[in-house]
């Protein structure tokens, strides 16, 4: 086991990794930008080092500096969390070159899965169905002809990155011609790569993902699936585990497809295979996230597996710490992502200072927070404040516990998405499980 781990991240995921390290008896090292000097993850860590000015490019994304700080701290491993450098293959390579373990897959695997065109080709060869789409980088002059072949509507998608950036829906040729420059510009700004491709847009799809764990000896398991269909701007707001209403055959097929992807690339660590499920029950591979996911707690709640500890153990060379035969779904869990955003104004970011944070409690409730009262929420970073997780013996119980917890939770001093979440848990369609990726646009009056 490692003696000291540097966490190359901030906010709630940094706090989560610090807690996992402490339970493993491993010292933790935080890094912080000038804007985060007093941040919660800095207060929780055993040691902390400044990594640069507030802009992420000069601090949390400064790969050489992060690795240098790990060496100065005497850390023998780096946990990247999610976002920032977590899916940067060159950063994983740099860690290896400096003799520091990267808690995640190899740089080659990250690059292969980080490029969606490459990932689609690998998965097709492994026999996994992908959403119909173009196979080569898109040339704007050929886009209309390619879209006609696929059939409108189509999705214009960035080959690099994720998080809904560089993604546009085009219902017809006119919309496609407007979407192309916007998607290219956004992809270039976000990922430094403006490569695009087209996918057929499925009608009212559901977004389903499967959690996998694999060790360096090639042993792999899946830990069932999560429902991630309630989104705004193609970014998730609410997740559930297990997914709603899947029959045993579809659940098994999704798990096998995720394992096929995992084995096809020689994956090691914790990862997530994302799929779209159409109205007929057919599913198609979207992408693989080669890191821990924001929504990992709901999988932990229904399986009893500490995913963050597991990925640390795997990176340290330990065998997969699970017996596949013992894995089973226990109850139902729902996670709400609580952002510093104004849901009444199209979920616009709403930075400020947290004047008060009063957490909820009681059976089945978990709050993974990255801020406390008095903390500032900067304009420089993702506005995620906390994740509220409710577990119940079944979905109705999880929803009732969630509603109770939302009544107890108080975050004052800035606008948050709590009004949206309180509305959601009372909505008849949500309670009935009638959800898809268009739920927010179809139902939320503040859109």
Query: How far apart are the C-alpha atoms of 214 and 265, rounded to whole Å?
Result: 11
Q: Are 186 and 163 in contact (CB under 8 A)?
A: no
The residue with tokens 């935080």 is 30
Cβ–Cβ under 8 Å, residues 288 and 112: no
Strands 47-52 and 27-33: parallel
What residues pair up with 411 in beta bridges, in sequence order? 357
Give the other-Cβ count within 10 Å of 23's Cβ: 10
Number of helical H runs and strand E runs in the chain = 15, 22
Element containing residue 383 per DSSP (H, E): none
Do 32 and 104 form a contact (C-beta atoms < 8 A)?
no
In whole angstroms, what is the distance from residue 175 CA to residue 178 CA? Answer: 5
Known catalytic membership, residue 415: no
Exposure of 260 in the CB half-sphere (CA atoms within 13 A): 17
- Rounded to an integer, what distance in angstroms lies between the CA atom of residue 208 and that of residue 273? 9
Hey, is 233 helix, strand or coil? coil
User: Degrees (nearest 5) of the Cα angle 60, 62, 66?
Assistant: 75
Bridge-based pairing of strands 206-214 and 220-232 is antiparallel
Catalytic annotation, pick one of 16, 206, 291, 415 = 291
Hey, how many other C-beta atoms are within 10 angstroms of the C-beta on 383? 23
The set of catalytic residues is 291
């Amino acid at each position: 086991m490692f003696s000291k781990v540097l966490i190359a991240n901030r906010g709630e995921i940094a706090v989560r990794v610090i807690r996992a390290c402490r339970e493993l008896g491993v010292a933790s090292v935080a890094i912080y930008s000038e804007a985060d000097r007093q941040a919660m993850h800095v207060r929780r860590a055993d040691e902390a080092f400044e990594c640069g000015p507030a802009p992420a490019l000069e601090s949390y994304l400064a790969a050489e500096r992060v690795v240098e700080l790990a060496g100065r701290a005497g850390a023998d491993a780096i946990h990247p969390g999610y976002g920032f450098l977590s899916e940067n293959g060159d950063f994983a390579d740099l860690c290896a070159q400096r003799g520091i373990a990267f808690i995640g897959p190899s740089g080659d695997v990250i690059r292969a899965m980080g490029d969606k065109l490459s990932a689609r080709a690998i998965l097709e060869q492994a026999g996994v169905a992908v959403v119909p789409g173009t196979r080569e980088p898109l040339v704007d002059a050929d886009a209309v002809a390619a879209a006609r072949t696929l059939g409108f509507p189509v999705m214009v998608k960035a080959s690099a990155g994720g998080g809904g950036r560089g993604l546009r829906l085009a219902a017809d040729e006119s919309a496609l011609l407007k979407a192309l420059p916007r998607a290219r510009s956004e992809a270039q700004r976000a990922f430094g790569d403006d490569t695009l491709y087209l996918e057929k847009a499925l009608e009212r799809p559901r977004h389903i993902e499967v959690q996998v764990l694999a060790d360096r000896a090639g042993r792999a398991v899946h830990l069932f699936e999560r429902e991630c269909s309630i989104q705004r701007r193609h970014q998730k707001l609410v997740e559930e585990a297990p997914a709603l209403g899947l029959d045993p055959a579809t659940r098994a097929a999704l798990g096998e497809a995720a394992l096929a992807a995992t084995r096809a690339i020689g994956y090691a660590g914790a990862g997530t295979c994302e799929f779209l499920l159409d109205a007929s029950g057919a599913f198609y591979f979207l992408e693989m996230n080669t890191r821990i996911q924001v929504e990992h707690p709901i999988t932990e709640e229904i399986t009893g597996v500490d995913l963050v500890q597991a990925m640390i153990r795997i990176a340290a060379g330990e065998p997969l710490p699970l017996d596949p035969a013992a894995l089973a779904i226990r109850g139902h869990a729902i996670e709400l992502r609580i952002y510093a955003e104004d849901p009444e104004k199209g979920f616009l970011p709403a930075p400020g200072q947290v004047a008060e944070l009063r957490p909820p409690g009681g059976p089945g409730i978990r709050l993974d927070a990255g801020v406390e009262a008095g903390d500032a929420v900067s304009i420089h970073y993702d506005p995620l404040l906390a994740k509220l997780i409710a577990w119940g013996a079944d979905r109705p119980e999880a929803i009732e516990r969630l509603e109770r917890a939302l009544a107890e939770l108080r975050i004052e001093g800035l606008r948050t998405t709590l009004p949206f979440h309180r509305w959601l848990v009372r909505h008849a369609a949500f309670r009935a499980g009638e959800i898809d990726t268009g739920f927010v646009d179809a139902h939320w009056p503040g859109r």
